[in-house]
Chain A
């Protein structure tokens, strides 16, 4: 978006401008105003980062507590195997440190994490949790990015069209359809998609099925084919939700007084909708999208499980089934980290999207 009055340009020093005196004082004014903004924003960010770290501490402690409070499989017994003797189980319990008090276990865990950035090792596989999560990060990222692109590329335009053509058949059909898409659970939609389109069991055998994921750098074509169904299944509810949100926001915005002003200025209806209406209507949508992307980066548990994609979501699911506490901790902390970061980024972004917001 280039604006007729470009703020970067007007803030840059312009030595050879006619009437330079006045201009440069205006530029100085703008620069200092911006400087103040940034320093106060910097303080704000520091404060938020500290809060974020505290939040992660709370999350990790809660995960520990919940793990021990809620009935779950005994990790030692699971690791020992089916026909283990009680003595063997006790031995394993001791090895894993599970015979120590919970607060002590938490202390050991946090010490390793803070001092060595060590997320511990899996109870089940003995693999380092950190390495396992980082290995799976690109997978989860692949799942998230495609879904985001789909929902933004479909949801926002559909919302705009529905808002403009309000009460038309197009609006009714898309909004009715979106209700279905929002209501359809991922595990149901995922199975339907697999039964219809997957290469192995599908009616029309086109896309990769469950468990067909290959890394992008190994075979981009297969990567794409394996992810197309998960992307659409994951994006379905988001697309519908965003279409409805954009529609609602835009309809509301189009009733604002400043839209009437824009029309009274003699602007074309297209410009009124896109430059004036949409600009205001999309600001909250950007916020929501940021938060949703953050959540997805923490792992799309249902989608990854249904399609057997080896991402963080699938890892979280498996570790919960296997009572694998260090792995659960790791995935929860990663999820929390992404959500907290997304929150912070969105809040900072907001100051740029809406000049009324100051920190």
Chain B
């Protein structure tokens, strides 16, 4: 059995020409993803709004369970479980991904929107050579001979900086180091030159020096191919490295969205402040213990009423208990979902940053 010929070439789903549209390359509007489970309905994503342009990197930050990964998986249709309800809009290059039939979704997935994952060892099939796995990705979407696909796989491995790729292509994943494996994943994702690369915590399982290399690689490939990158992470350091635009997610919602410089110089959301305070810093007086956000991330089954962050928010007001804040523009390009007065939160945000930057 050789990999199947490309799935039905549906013009709408697979045309590579950019359809002229005013919206971004990938735009998510008011996305809701719910899972019915035995314990109740999990509101994994609740009204998420994100967008990313070609050659841009969108950073998505948040704690575990904030809906980052579910949002990403929903984009490529991997959350279409029988117990899932997905509503809202995901528009990719003029295609409505939420309602796209499965077979057309498959030809978008991997070919036009590729995804890489956290742990490259468990994400590669342990029993197949890495070359086989890359060749399979190519042959799934393009009708090319195995030897041609193999040549391209070697090129792709070379491209991601794997030394002597013509040997490495016959390696099994366990024969490679963690960094090499993630490079293989990236090669596999980028060999079809996708429009969007979704990276779900791609550096979490790697050690720090390798992390920097992988981030460099992603940045270089993004610039070279004009790929739009969605970088999902809980590491603000990665965001500071790479992102053009940052979305902070909490309890399935995008609570703050801003260009990177704006977010790091004047964050306006108490949750973002908490995230920033909890980063250890070398350039600040060392506190006795590292700040952390008090409390626990909320249960996505029984969300607190009002603002989902209110039980943990040091600035909580009466209105927060009953009314959920909307994601509203505070400055051009800077969206915040908080009941605090704009002036007040801008002040606190700036103070926080000067306190650290001095």
Contacts and interface: CB of A to CB of B under 8 A. Distances in A.
B261 interface: no
Given A264-B114, A265-B136, A267-B140, A5 B150 contact: yes
Contacts of A353: 127
B1 interface: yes
Contacts of B7: 266, 268
Contacts of B166: 22-23, 26
Contact of B78 (A23, A30, A257, A263): A263
A22 B154 CA distance: 13
Interface string A25-60: 010011000000000000000000000000000000
Contacts of A1: 1
Interface in A266-317: 266-268, 271, 275-276, 279-280, 283
A355 B127 contact: yes
A263 B114 CA distance: 11
A267 B136 contact: yes
B122 interface: yes
Interface string A238-272: 00000000000000000011101111111110010
Interface residues of A, number: 34
A266 B108 contact: yes
Interface in B95-150: 106-111, 114-115, 117-119, 122-129, 131-132, 135-137, 139-141, 146, 149-150
Given A260-B78, A268-B4, A4 B136 contact: yes
Contact of B149 (A4, A257, A258): A4
User: Which one of A22, A29, A266 has the highest number of Cβ atoms from chain B below 10 Å of its Cβ?
Assistant: A266
Contacts of B135: 4-5
A354 interface: yes
A24 to B, nearest CB: 11
B38 to A, nearest CB: 12
B167 interface: yes
Contact of A265 (B109, B146, B167): B109
A82 interface: no
B110 A280 contact: no
Nearest to A25: B167
A267 B170 contact: no
B72 to A, nearest CB: 10
A354 B126 CA distance: 8
B163 interface: no
Contact of A5 (B106, B127, B131): B131
A276 B167 contact: no
Nearest to B171: A355
B2 interface: yes
Contacts of B124: 258, 261
Interface string B151-184: 0000000000000001101101010000000000
A356 interface: yes
A339 B7 CA distance: 48
B188 interface: yes
B1 A2 contact: yes
Contact of B123 (A4, A23, A258, A356): A258
30 contacts: A3-B128, A4-B136, A4-B139, A5-B129, A10-B170, A26-B167, A29-B167, A256-B122, A258-B123, A260-B78, A261-B123, A261-B125, A262-B125, A263-B109, A264-B110, A264-B114, A264-B115, A265-B110, A265-B137, A265-B140, A266-B107, A266-B109, A266-B137, A266-B140, A267-B106, A267-B140, A268-B4, A275-B1, A353-B127, A355-B127
Interface of A: 1-5, 7, 10, 22-23, 26, 29-30, 256-258, 260-268, 271, 275-276, 279-280, 283, 353-356
Given A4-B146, A265-B137, 18 more contacts: A4-B132, A5-B129, A5-B146, A7-B129, A26-B170, A257-B123, A258-B123, A264-B114, A266-B106, A266-B108, A266-B140, A271-B3, A275-B1, A279-B125, A280-B125, A283-B127, A355-B174, A356-B174
